[in-house]
């Protein structure tokens, strides 16, 4: 079949037959989880499994009231599923807004279809910035492909008629028509699309900390359980029901299920909140990563500036050609060029009405690596359009003046020499014809946004393919503080770039490879990086950054690999997005000690109980034997008051201070004093009560109230400094605790404080308050 006939594309009947045969590209890698994955994550996990086993043990001995805790587990799982499904629905809906279609030719007519509707033999049209949806062979046109996703190399690969295009790569320049050669499982699309969308490892310090605790508790819970049940049955000689109840309580306490649920709920709530602000979060844990960002690398075009290029002036610097001739040359160049970047579109719009009738050949598209493009125009020779410093060694006066005004500058040049498009090298004999001055307006509010980010301790860097002098002057206009700290990356090697990456603020003439190298160097130096961009030349750096943020108006390729997509394409939304992450992580860090108190004291008391059993069996003195002092229903009721409502409310508080490091170490150290106070209270009341003839209910009553007081102090600490709403939250907590302690005492198996138990309770409460106040004062020093 000849090429012209092939270019007519498949007929509707051919498409129908191939679809029926399964020869279609039915592939859709959604960044959100499936309904089953959400259900499985919230139901079938280690925490729920261990709680389920404990609940079965309690039910088996008819300890129904102490099994109520599992209702909370079910409620948490259901609420987690509902929250995730709501977030998924929003993400999927927003994804539809940003989904790109593919242009195909069928029955000699162009139409746009979803990538999964492509069939074998389809004729597709692709241009710069688009991802190749399926393996194909070029039939017409010339382009350069970025195959870094496949090869790891950033060098662009020239694609002409007869060349193969690999799915998953991106067109960096040019425009081509190609025939699909592989679809579905037979091409690279499945593997590469998944890699391009979500395949960075989850970078969550909170999740990593919880996994450490889960791994530790998972290892000790079985031997602890065996030791405690044997102690209760064989040494204390308790009935089976009582033995199971006293064994279940510390095991339940060791599992930090509350903080795990609250973390996921808080992150998912942020996904929904950002979604309402038209920010598509494609990876839930990127919200936490955002909070830890201390360095943001900004792409100038479309970020600080509006990305709406407009040709301001054409400076004729040729002695041979008139202004009109140069305009005609530019008109011919842009009409026959396939470049579609914003700069090319601005030049095309300016000179599109000029008449020329000139034919061209040997077209070399503009590329972000080379920074220039060319074509041979009849009657003239080889015409070049590109960055002046890449075409000429000596600076042109008109270029310097335009750059000082903050304008983007391109040079039109000519040469009598031809270029070998298989081995592209600039000729030595090249003459400047004109300088094109292009303006890109600075976004409204950019100065305020930059200053606000800087005031919050975020280091800002600008990484751009433009001339560093131009970028510096634009940065100055935008209120960028370190606008004088810039470097021309085209004049430094990789080793030199690594040395100056941290100290330099503005990087000009950066290649895609260098952008990635800068991000990689900053990460290696210990920085958590975010990268903003909107062009195909930003892809490598966006993938390398800890968090990638792209504009919806940018190239579709960038949206495929971004963690977050700004659907309004507004750079000024960046502070709110960054601080939403800080709010979540700071609040979780602040309230986490509330949850870890129970984990620590349950672990320590379980060890004390086991050691007391060993001591009693060795000495024969059972009076030294300590049975775990709480039962599941008591802990469950207190949990709902201390660990339930207050922490959930506090996660919504505004908190934009920089995130502290060492989440697990910090929260454990904050929880330790309160946990030790619980252990001390248990031992003191147990010894004092036994020496003074207290019955077991009196001991349980004092300890129940002490657990409430110590838990309340942890809520107070998380609520400091107090304001009206936090004070109301504390009042609610006190009221809820007293109400349940009085009216649910038959359920919790406690009594009331009496004349001989109240003084001990008051004394221990006073000690707890003194310890709390003392530690708070030490912390402020």
Strand, coil or helix: 105: strand
Query: Residue 193's pLDDT is what?
Result: 43
Which has the higher per-residue pLDDT, 488 or 423?
488
Mean pLDDT across 394-419: 89
Nearest of 701, 668, 674, 670 to residue 769 by alpha carbon: 674
At 557 the pLDDT is: 62
Q: pLDDT tens, 568-580?
A: 878 788 888 888 8
Residue 637 has pLDDT above 60, yes or no: yes
pLDDT of the residue at 742: 93
Residues whose CB falls within 8 Å of the CB of residue 375, separated by 6 or more in sequence, listed in order: 333, 336, 337, 360, 361, 362, 363, 364, 382, 383
- Residues 330-343: what's their mean pLDDT? 82
**How far is the C-alpha of 542 from the C-alpha of 562, rounded, in Å?**
7
Q: What does the pLDDT average to over 665-688?
A: 93
Q: Which residue has the higher pLDDT, 487 or 246?
A: 487
Question: Beta 295-298 vs 486-488: how paired, if at all?
Answer: unpaired
Distance CA 61, CA 59 (A): 5
- Residue 629 near residue 750 (C-beta atoms within 8 A): no
Tell me what pLDDT residue 295 has: 94
Placement of tokens 């909370």 in the chain: 72
With H, G, I as helix, E, B as strand and everything else as coil, classify residue 711: helix
User: What pLDDT is recorded for position 154?
Assistant: 47
The per-residue pLDDT for 189 is: 47
Checking if the pLDDT of 536 tops 80, the result is no
Rounded to an integer, what distance in angstroms lies between the CA atom of residue 304 and that of residue 443? 6
193: β partners: none
Residue 730's pLDDT band (boundaries 50, 70, 90)?
A: very high
pLDDT at 1: 52
pLDDT tens-place string over residues 46-62: 777 878 888 898 899 88
| Domains of the chain and CATH, by start | 206-272+579-780 (1.20.1110.10), 274-306+443-577 (3.40.50.1000), 310-439 (3.40.1110.10)
How many other CB atoms are there within 10 angstroms of residue 269's CB atom?
Answer: 19
pTM value surpassing 0.85: no
Interval 4-17 mean pLDDT: 87
How is 514-570 classified by DSSP, letter by letter? HHHHHHHHHHHTT--EEEEE-SGGGHHHHHHSSEEEEETTS-HHHHHH-SEEETT--
Residue with tokens 């005004």: 405
What is the spatial distance between Cα 480 and Cα 454, in angstroms, rounded to a whole number? Answer: 9
CB 143 within 8 A of CB 126: yes
pLDDT higher than threshold 70 for residue 445: yes
Percentage of residues of the chain with pLDDT beyond 90? 30
Q: In sequence order, what are the beta bridge partners of 164?
A: 137
Per the DSSP assignment, residues forming a β-bridge with 488 are 508
For residue 770, the model assigns a pLDDT of 94
- 88 vs 451 pLDDT, higher one: 451
Q: Please give the C-alpha separations between residue 667 and each of 318, 588, 590, 660, in angstroms, as whole numbers.
A: 70, 10, 8, 11
Interatomic CA distance for residues 26 and 190, integer angstroms? 10
> Minimum mean pLDDT among 73-87, 675-689, 724-738: which range?
73-87
Instruction: Give the integer Cα–Cα distance in Å for 387 and 739.
Output: 75
Positions annotated as catalytic residues are: 299
CA distance 598 to 593: 9
pLDDT band at 94 (very low <50, low <70, confident <90, very high): very low
211/708: higher pLDDT: 708
64 φ, ψ (degrees, to nearest 5): -65, -40
Average pLDDT score over residue span 462-466: 85
DSSP sequence for 648-675? HHHTTS---SPPPS-HHHHHHHHHHHHH
> Percent of the chain having pLDDT more than 70?
90
Query: Would strands 279-281 and 564-566 be described as parallel, antiparallel, or unpaired?
Result: antiparallel
**In this model, does residue 87 exceed pLDDT 70?**
no
Closest CA to 369 of 465, 492, 468: 465
Residue 357's nearest CA partner among 380, 384, 328, 334 is: 328
Which of 72-76, 157-161, 175-179, 760-764 reaches the highest mean pLDDT?
760-764
Q: Is the pLDDT of residue 459 over 90?
A: yes
How much is the average pLDDT of 506-529? 91
The Cα 225–Cα 229 span in angstroms is: 6
Neighbours of 533 (CB within 10 A): 28
List the single range of 108-122, 217-231, 425-439, 705-719 with lowest mean pLDDT: 217-231
Task: Compute the average pLDDT of residues 742-749.
Answer: 91
What is the Cα 705 distance to its own chain's centre? Answer: 43
pLDDT of residue 153: 47
Least confident of 199-213, 233-247, 438-452, 671-685: 199-213
pLDDT tens for each residue of 559-614: 767 888 888 878 788 888 888 888 888 888 889 899 899 999 999 999 998 888 88
* Residue 257 DSSP SS3: helix
Q: How far apart (Å, rounded) are the C-alpha atoms in residues 53 and 377?
A: 80
Distance, CA of 246 to CA of 432 (rounded, Å): 88
Closest alpha carbon to 593 in 717, 769, 731? 717
pLDDT of 420 > 80? The answer is yes
The predicted pLDDT at position 195 comes to 45
The pLDDT score that the predictor gives to residue 624 is: 67
Q: Spell 208-224 as b/e; 16+ CB within 10 A means b.
A: ebbeebbeebeeebeeb
Do you find a cis peptide bond into 459, omega within 30 degrees of 0? no
**Predicted pLDDT of residue 32:** 55
pLDDT tens-place string over residues 98-148:
456 899 999 999 999 988 889 999 999 998 778 788 889 999 988 888 775
Give the pLDDT band of residue 200 (cuts 50, 70, 90).
Answer: low
**pLDDT tens figures, 746-769:** 989 999 999 999 999 999 999 999
What does the DSSP 8-state code read for residue 423? S
Judged on CB neighbours under 10 Å (0-12, 13-18, 19+), 303 is buried
Task: Classify residue 755 by burial, with Cβ atoms within 10 Å: 0-12, 13-18, 19+.
Answer: exposed
pLDDT at 96 (0 to 100): 43
More confident residue, 694 or 287: 694
Residue keyed to tokens 């977050």:
564
The mean per-residue pLDDT over the stretch 438-445 comes to 84
Q: What is the mean pLDDT of the chain?
A: 84
For the segment 483-496, what is each residue's pLDDT rounded down to a tens digit? Answer: 899 999 988 999 99
Say if residues 256 and 210 touch (Cβ distance below 8 Å): yes
Q: In the numeric block, which tokens belong to residue 148?
A: 């870094």
Q: Confidence class of residue 255 from pLDDT cuts 50, 70 and 90?
A: confident
Greatest mean pLDDT among 6-10, 561-565, 713-717: 713-717
Examine the pLDDT at 199 and tell me if it is beyond 60: no
Q: Quick one: pLDDT at residue 245?
A: 86
Q: What is the largest CA-CA distance in the chain?
A: 113
Is the pLDDT score of 298 beyond 50?
yes
Q: What distance in Å separates the CA atoms of residue 593 and residue 718, rounded to the nearest whole number?
A: 9
- The four Cα atoms 216, 672, 287, 93 give a dihedral, to 10 degrees, of 70
Mean pLDDT in residue range 699-718? 95
> Given the structure tokens 């995130």, which residue do they identify?
659
Q: Choose the weakest-confidence range: 159-173, 202-216, 537-551.
A: 202-216
Mean of pLDDT values over 387-410: 88
Q: Which residues contact 111 (CB under 8 A, 6 or more apart)?
A: 103, 104, 105
Q: Which DSSP string do the residues of 322-368 spell out, in sequence order?
A: -HHHHHHHHHHHHHH----SHHHHHHHHHHTT------EEEEE---T
Q: For residue 192, what pLDDT is reported?
A: 44
């Amino acid at each position: 079949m000849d090429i012209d006939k092939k270019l007519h594309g498949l007929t509707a009947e051919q498409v129908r037959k191939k679809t029926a045969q399964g020869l279609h590209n039915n592939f859709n890698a959604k960044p959100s989880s499936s309904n089953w994955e959400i259900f499985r994550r919230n139901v079938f996990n280690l925490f729920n499994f261990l709680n389920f086993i404990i609940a079965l043990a309690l039910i088996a001995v008819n300890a129904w009231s102490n099994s109520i805790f599992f209702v909370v587990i079910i409620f948490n799982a259901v609420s987690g599923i509902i929250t995730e499904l709501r977030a998924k629905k929003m993400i999927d809906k927003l994804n539809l807004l940003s989904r790109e279609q593919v242009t195909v030719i069928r029955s000699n007519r162009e139409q746009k279809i979803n990538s999964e509707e492509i069939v074998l033999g389809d004729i597709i049209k692709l241009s710069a910035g688009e991802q190749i949806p399926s393996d194909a062979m070029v039939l017409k046109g010339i382009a350069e492909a970025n195959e870094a996703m496949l090869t790891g190399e950033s060098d662009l690969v020239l694609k002409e008629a007869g060349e193969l295009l690999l799915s998953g790569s991106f067109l960096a320049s040019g425009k081509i028509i190609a025939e699909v050669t592989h679809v579905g499982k037979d091409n690279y699309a499945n593997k590469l699309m998944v890699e391009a969308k979500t395949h960075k490892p989850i970078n969550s310090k909170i999740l990593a900390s919880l996994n450490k605790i889960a791994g530790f508790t998972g290892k000790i819970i079985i031997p602890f359980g065996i030791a405690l049940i044997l102690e209760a049955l064989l040494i204390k000689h308790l009935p089976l029901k009582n033995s199971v109840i006293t064994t279940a309580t510390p095991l339940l306490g060791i599992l930090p299920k509350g903080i795990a649920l609250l973390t996921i709920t808080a992150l998912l709530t942020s996904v929904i909140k950002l979604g309402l602000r038209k920010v598509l979060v494609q990876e839930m844990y990127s919200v936490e990563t955002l909070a830890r960002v201390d360095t943001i690398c900004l792409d100038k075009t479309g970020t600080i500036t509006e990305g709406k290029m407009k040709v301001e002036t054409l400076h004729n610097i040729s002695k041979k050609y008139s202004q009109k001739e140069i305009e005609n040359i530019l008109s011919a160049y842009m009409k026959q060029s396939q470049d579609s970047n914003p700069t090319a579109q601005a030049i095309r719009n300016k000179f599109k009405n000029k008449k020329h009738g000139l034919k061209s050949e040997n077209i070399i598209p503009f590329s972000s690596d080379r920074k220039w493009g060319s074509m041979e125009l009849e009657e003239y020779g080889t015409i070049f359009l590109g960055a002046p410093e890449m075409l000429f060694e000596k600076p042109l006066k008109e270029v310097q003046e335009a750059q000082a005004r903050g304008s983007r500058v391109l040079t039109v040049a000519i040469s009598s020499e031809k270029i070998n498009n298989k081995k592209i090298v600039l000729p030595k004999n090249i003459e400047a014809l004109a300088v094109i001055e292009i303006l890109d307006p600075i976004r409204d509010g950019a100065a305020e946004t930059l200053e606000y980010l800087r005031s919050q301790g975020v280091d800002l860097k600008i990484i751009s393919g433009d001339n560093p002098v131009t970028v510096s002057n634009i940065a100055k206009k935008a209120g960028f503080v370190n606008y004088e700290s810039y470097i021309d990356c085209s004049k430094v090697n990789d080793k030199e770039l690594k040395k100056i990456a941290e100290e330099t603020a503005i990087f000009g003439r950066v290649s895609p490879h260098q952008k990635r190298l800068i991000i990689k160097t900053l990460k290696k130096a210990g920085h958590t990086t975010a990268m903003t961009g909107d062009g195909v030349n930003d892809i490598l750096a966006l993938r390398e950054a800890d968090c990638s943020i792209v504009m919806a108006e940018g190239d579709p390729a960038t949206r495929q690999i971004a963690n977050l997509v700004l659907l309004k394409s507004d750079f000024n939304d960046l502070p709110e997005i960054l601080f939403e992450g800080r709010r979540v992580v700071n609040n979780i860090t602040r309230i986490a000690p509330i949850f870890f108190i129970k984990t620590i004291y349950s672990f320590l008391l379980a060890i004390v109980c086991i050691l007391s059993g060993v001591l009693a069996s060795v000495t024969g003195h059972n009076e030294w034997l300590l049975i775990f002092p709480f039962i599941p229903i008591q802990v469950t009721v207190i949990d709902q008051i201390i660990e339930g409502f207050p922490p959930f409310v506090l996660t919504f508080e505004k908190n934009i201070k920089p995130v502290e490091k060492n989440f697990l170490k910090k929260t454990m150290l904050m929880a330790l004093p309160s946990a030790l106070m619980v252990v001390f209270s248990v031992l003191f009341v147990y010894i004092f009560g036994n020496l003074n003839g207290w019955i077991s209910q009196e001991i349980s009553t004092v300890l129940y109230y002490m657990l409430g007081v110590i838990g309340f102090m942890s809520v107070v600490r998380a609520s400091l400094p107090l304001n009206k709403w936090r004070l109301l939250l504390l009042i609610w907590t006190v009221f809820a605790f007293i109400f349940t302690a009085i009216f649910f005492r038959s359920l919790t198996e406690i009594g009331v404080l009496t004349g001989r138990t109240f003084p001990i309770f008051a004394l221990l409460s006073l000690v707890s308050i003194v310890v709390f106040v003392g530690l708070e004062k030490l912390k402020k020093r």
